[in-house]
Structure 1
Amino acid sequence: MTPLIFVTGGVVSSLGKGIAAASLASILEARGLKVTMMKLDPYINVDPGTMSPFQHGEVYVTDDGAETDLDLGHYERFVRTRLSRKNSVTTGRIYENVIRKERRGDYLGATVQVIPHITDEIRRCIDAATEGFDVALVEIGGTVGDIESLPFLEAIRQVRTERGASKALFMHLTLVPFIGAAGELKTKPTQHSVKELRSIGIQPDVLLCRSEQVIPDGERRKISLFTNVPERAVISVPDVDVLYKIPMGLHRQGLDEIVIDQLGLREKVGPADLHEWEDAVDATVHPDDAVTIAVVGKYVDHQDAYKSVGEALKHGGLRQRTKVTLKWLEAQDLEGSDMSALADVDGILVPGGFGDRGFEGKVLTSQYAREHGVPYFGICYGMQAAVVDYARHVAGLAGANSTENDRQTVHPVIGLITEWRTAAGEVEKRDEKSDLGGTMRLGLQEQRLKPGTLAHQLYGRDVVAERHRHRYEFNNRYRTQLEEAGLVISGKSMDDTLVEVVELPQQVHPWFLACQAHPEFLSTPREGHPLFIGFIAAARARKAARAG
């Protein structure tokens, strides 16, 4: 049985359970353990694929095409294990599995109940996701006290009861607020949170106490006495200016030692090698350069919708000791504007999205970057906007558009595959309907790059693989026309049927590249990603040229 670390949260949400869990996982990995992570989410949606970015934030995509919670992005940025759909489980998926089994007769006519059937299914999913690893961290979404989290909490209580403390550890993240008017840290919320947890049969082994400042020893001792948690296991987790400092902070307080001792992992570990995290912090705190990148999207008031994009841009800067400042711009606000909001930036990125709101602003952004020599990086919808821009303003295809936004466009340069992949003489089917997400191209897929192009230069390989999440594609009927107008198709699917990357020749534009995939999902602070590193390098060159 894989030793398990269950991570719960209390007092309030958004304290950073995912970051805290991922930071501990990174330390354990740095000590030589094979680590995996898992998220149990209490919402009834089967997955977040159709949830509003305003409400839920980014939908993160794994190699096998699972649409998951954004916390899996934190996990993959902090540990090198590649996760899959097994690592993200919702209440909706649990109930869907149980109902399917009941309809199939697997329960032999028994009354299906939360205990044991729902909790058994939760435990089965935990076992399936964690088998074969030295240790696994399992984060329980939501906050202790929420009704919807109770089946998950009951399931992990059962696991601890059966396996014992040497195979299952409870780590609870709470808030220790600082009351400015009184000038005091208050431990009462943490005490009540642990009391709530203990009322359902779970005694935490470790407390991670979030606060605005370091928690003094006196308060830690008080928390220890009231919660029955050893003082050495009451860990202070203050706010930090650099996210990558957290692993070092937890390591200094001995959190990994507590885990290793309780779970009996001493024989498998060596000293913690955290030099990569130290290098990331040093590059962040002591940059040699700085650039400003405009991110033009439709959810910029809720930046979690572009979490991986923002992180990947910063990673691109880390690899060359460059501070990346993000200027978030609402695409819709640029429609009808003079585009002056883009005049002071060193590079422009247009991320993915769905729907017609703000699309014309993205097209105008592509046109501005193309005509003014500003480095442009289009991702998914940002690529489609660039294709529409080029078709309208360079290739002379007036009215060109995506059929996602205009079903009757005279030049559907972007469309569903079923709209343009038709037999000779067959009428195009632009009225085809499907469930949201039902026809998505999802997950890791290979593509072949054209030698001599910017994309090939950046990757340094003929074949690369990136994760996808989209429905609409570059319309192959316009390939020849757009190429003759100067657009370079530098990446295509392995069977040559789908356009993956477009760019402008470097003698025409210093750096203009757009890809259908989501390379941000494979960027990490320790390695970065070739496209983001190249984009930030181009932004640095533009800044230097303007200054000189």
Structure 2
Amino acid sequence: MARYIFITGGVVSSLGKGLASAALGALLQARGYSVRLRKLDPYLNVDPGTMSPFEHGEVFVTDDGAETDLDLGHYERFTGVPARKTDSVSSGRIYSNVLEKERRGDYLGKTIQVVPHVTNEIKDFLSIGDTEVDFMLCEIGGTVGDIEGLPFFEAIRQFAQDRPRGQCIFMHLTLLPYISASGELKTKPTQHSVKELRSIGIAPDVLVCRSEHEIPAKEIAKIALFCNVRPDAVIPAYDLRSIYEAPLAYHRAGLDQAVLDAFGIAPAPKPNLDRWEDVMDRLTNAEGLVRVAIVGKYTQLEDAYKSIAEALTHGGMANRVKVKAEWIDAEIFEREDPAPYLEGYHAILVPGGFGERGTEGKIKAAQFAREKGVPYLGICLGMQMAVIEAARNVAGMTKAGSEEFDHEKGEKRFEPVVYHLKEWVQGNHMVARKVDDDKGGTMRLGAYTAHLKDGSKVAEVYGAAEIEERHRHRYEVDTKYREKLESCGLVFSGMSPDGRLPEIVEWKDHPWFIGVQYHPELKSKPFAPHPLFADFVRAAKEVERLV
């Protein structure tokens, strides 16, 4: 049976609970334990799939097709453990499950209440797979005191009571603000946050205190005294050069030892941190600089492209260079010539997105990369825009476009080389979709296989004839234009096993121009960079341009 670590947050949001959870998971792995990480979000959306990137950042997709919080990306990147549908749940999903059971009559006519029905549903979720690993780390989204989070806090309190003593501990992350006028760190917000937590029956075993300034020993002693926590379980958490320094920094601060002490595990296995020391060596001892332009539509919030930014960093590690990713709003190119903006970059990346806004700018970015011989990586919509650019400017199909944009406007304006995906094979059955279906969970989601063309660039990059990558999209490139486009030099170098769905395109006579329908960034890790990103950065490194 797994030991459970519940990670909560207080004082303010965005303190880095997800990063702390991921780093702790990595440290427990370094000591030889197996781990799984989970996220419980209090919002009422069933999942983040229909939420704006400006609201919630990127949607992270699992192999089994769940649309989840971006923190699951941190969990995977730090531990290498593939996330599953059962590793993410929201209040919306919990309440939906409870109401479905009530409608079916599963509760035998009882009055449905938050306690015990909602809390029991949460506890059932927590119990899934608890015999598979040594430690289950469960992060509770939001901040203690939030009204929508109360059922989750009550559920984990009950869960810890239900389990044998010593099977569950609580880790609380807080902020120590610095008052510059008095030159002091203030512990009172942390004290009040712990008081709030204790008022609902949860006593933290470990406190992680975020601070921009060094925390003096006397302040640590004060926190320990007033929060009823051992002094060696008050862990300082400072700002870092890179998120990948977190495992080493938290180890130096004693987090993993404090957690094992809280469980009474002694003697604790010694950690092997070679993996993270190598990661930091590659980050801090880079031997060059590569500039990559990311031409997207959600550039005001970098978390919208979190996995892409991290995958580029990993590609830099693989090549011992620093990657400087710079964000450019695709809409600018709908009004202005892209050349003055894109000249001087070593590579161009066009990421995914939904809707017509900014797409003409993405098409111009693909055209610039094709004509100037600049390495180009198009992901999802970025691949589709590269195909439309090829159709318009090389194959002579001046009306080429996407059915998605006609659906959005409610009129037919384009010859659709990209069309709405109506059916596809998932596992051993056929999935059918209509344009007017509900938006949530109706895309082609999760891991699918692709066959790579012999002798193609992607086959060389992957070193394989068959790959499996994660998808999240509703529209596909139409294969009826394949022959015409390939005669112009755009090779369909990756296809679905049944040959119906294009997965990868590449320009035959270009130094490095690849578009993929899937999201390779979701599987990249600092200690195992995704081969596409590693080779993309390698190609960019070879471009002789002034920085």
Q: What TM-score comes out, normalization by structure 1 length?
A: 0.95
Aligned to 2:185: 185
Tell me, yes or no, if structure 1 residue 145 matches structure 2 residue 148. Answer: no
| Letter paired with 2:454 | P
Q: 1:49 to 1:447 in 2, by over 3 A?
A: same
Tell me, yes or no, if structure 1 residue 365 matches structure 2 residue 372. Answer: no
1:95–1:118 contact (8 Å) kept in structure 2: yes
Aligned to 1:425: none
Q: d(CA) in 1 for partners of 2:56 and 2:414?
A: 36
Q: d(CA) in 2 for partners of 1:432 and 1:133?
A: 41
Deviations 1:459-515, CA, capped at 9 Å, x for gaps: 00000000000000011111111111111111001111100000011xx21110010
Please state whether the residue corresponding to 2:348 is helix, strand or coil: strand
Report the Cα offset of residue 432 of structure 1: 4.1
Please state whether the residue corresponding to 1:130 is helix, strand or coil: coil
Tell me, yes or no, if structure 1 residue 463 matches structure 2 residue 462. Answer: no
Report the Cα offset of residue 74 of structure 1: 0.4
Tell me, yes or no, if structure 1 residue 479 matches structure 2 residue 482. Answer: yes
Q: d(CA) in 2 for partners of 1:432 and 1:93?
A: 24
Aligned to 2:529: 528
| Letter paired with 1:58 | E
Please state whether the residue corresponding to 2:75 is helix, strand or coil: helix
| Letter paired with 1:325 | K
Please state whether the residue corresponding to 2:406 is helix, strand or coil: coil
The 5-angstrom pairing of residues 227-376 of structure 1 reads 227-266=227-266, 270-339=269-338, 340-376=340-376
Q: d(CA) in 1 for partners of 2:153 and 2:66?
A: 24
Q: d(CA) in 1 for partners of 2:21 and 2:529?
A: 21
| Letter paired with 1:105 | G
Tell me, yes or no, if structure 1 residue 199 matches structure 2 residue 194. Answer: no
Report the Cα offset of residue 419 of structure 1: 10
Question: Bigger CA drift: 522-531 or 240-249?
Answer: 240-249
Q: 1:438 to 1:62 in 2, by over 3 A?
A: closer
Report the Cα offset of residue 214 of structure 1: 2.5
| Letter paired with 1:480 | E
Aligned to 2:420: 416
Q: d(CA) in 2 for partners of 1:316 and 1:34?
A: 27
Q: d(CA) in 1 for partners of 2:7 and 2:546?
A: 49
Tell me, yes or no, if structure 1 residue 519 matches structure 2 residue 520. Answer: yes
The 5-angstrom pairing of residues 79-118 of structure 1 reads 79-118=79-118
1:214–1:237 contact (8 Å) kept in structure 2: no
Please state whether the residue corresponding to 1:159 is helix, strand or coil: helix
Report the Cα offset of residue 451 of structure 1: 1.2
1:417–1:475 contact (8 Å) kept in structure 2: no
Q: d(CA) in 1 for partners of 2:90 and 2:447?
A: 22
Q: d(CA) in 2 for partners of 1:517 and 1:143?
A: 34
Q: d(CA) in 2 for partners of 1:331 and 1:410?
A: 20
Q: d(CA) in 2 for partners of 1:56 and 1:538?
A: 33
Deviations 1:329-384, CA, capped at 9 Å, x for gaps: 00011112121111121100000000000000000000011111111000000000
Report the Cα offset of residue 265 of structure 1: 4.5
Q: d(CA) in 2 for partners of 1:86 and 1:69?
A: 12
Report the Cα offset of residue 230 of structure 1: 0.5
Q: 1:547 to 1:200 in 2, by over 3 A?
A: closer
Over aligned residues, Cα RMSD in angstroms? 1.7
Q: d(CA) in 2 for partners of 1:451 and 1:191?
A: 63
Q: 1:187 to 1:365 in 2, by over 3 A?
A: same
Q: 1:127 to 1:363 in 2, by over 3 A?
A: same
| Letter paired with 2:446 | G
Report the Cα offset of residue 271 of structure 1: 1.6
Please state whether the residue corresponding to 1:244 is helix, strand or coil: helix
Report the Cα offset of residue 131 of structure 1: 3.5
Q: d(CA) in 1 for partners of 2:170 and 2:341?
A: 49
| Letter paired with 2:2 | T
Q: d(CA) in 2 for partners of 1:364 and 1:262?
A: 57
Please state whether the residue corresponding to 1:405 is helix, strand or coil: helix
Aligned to 1:66: 66
| Letter paired with 1:315 | H
Q: 1:282 to 1:232 in 2, by over 3 A?
A: same
2:67–2:441 contact (8 Å) kept in structure 1: no
2:345–2:545 contact (8 Å) kept in structure 1: no
1:289–1:321 contact (8 Å) kept in structure 2: yes
Aligned to 1:440: 443
| Letter paired with 1:219 | E
Q: d(CA) in 2 for partners of 1:111 and 1:318?
A: 57
Q: d(CA) in 1 for partners of 2:19 and 2:517?
A: 29
2:171–2:207 contact (8 Å) kept in structure 1: yes
Deviations 1:22-47, CA, capped at 9 Å, x for gaps: 10010001111110000000001100
1:420–1:475 contact (8 Å) kept in structure 2: no
Q: d(CA) in 2 for partners of 1:418 and 1:221?
A: 62
Q: What TM-score comes out, normalization by structure 2 length?
A: 0.95
Q: d(CA) in 1 for partners of 2:180 and 2:376?
A: 45
Q: d(CA) in 1 for partners of 2:421 and 2:22?
A: 39
1:402–1:409 contact (8 Å) kept in structure 2: no
Q: d(CA) in 2 for partners of 1:304 and 1:88?
A: 18
Q: d(CA) in 2 for partners of 1:103 and 1:64?
A: 27
**Identity among equivalent pairs (%):** 55
2:80–2:525 contact (8 Å) kept in structure 1: no
1:420–1:477 contact (8 Å) kept in structure 2: no
Report the Cα offset of residue 533 of structure 1: 0.3
Q: d(CA) in 2 for partners of 1:34 and 1:331?
A: 43
Q: 1:284 to 1:263 in 2, by over 3 A?
A: same
| Letter paired with 2:292 | I
Report the Cα offset of residue 278 of structure 1: 1.0
Report the Cα offset of residue 104 of structure 1: 1.4
Please state whether the residue corresponding to 1:344 is helix, strand or coil: coil
Q: d(CA) in 2 for partners of 1:163 and 1:447?
A: 44
Aligned to 2:492: 489
Q: d(CA) in 1 for partners of 2:266 and 2:3?
A: 13
2:346–2:545 contact (8 Å) kept in structure 1: no
Aligned to 1:427: none
Report the Cα offset of residue 216 of structure 1: 1.6
Report the Cα offset of residue 456 of structure 1: 0.4
| Letter paired with 1:83 | A
2:403–2:414 contact (8 Å) kept in structure 1: no
Q: 1:218 to 1:432 in 2, by over 3 A?
A: closer
Q: d(CA) in 2 for partners of 1:402 and 1:391?
A: 11
| Letter paired with 1:52 | S
The answer for unaligned runs of 5 or more in structure 2 is 426-432
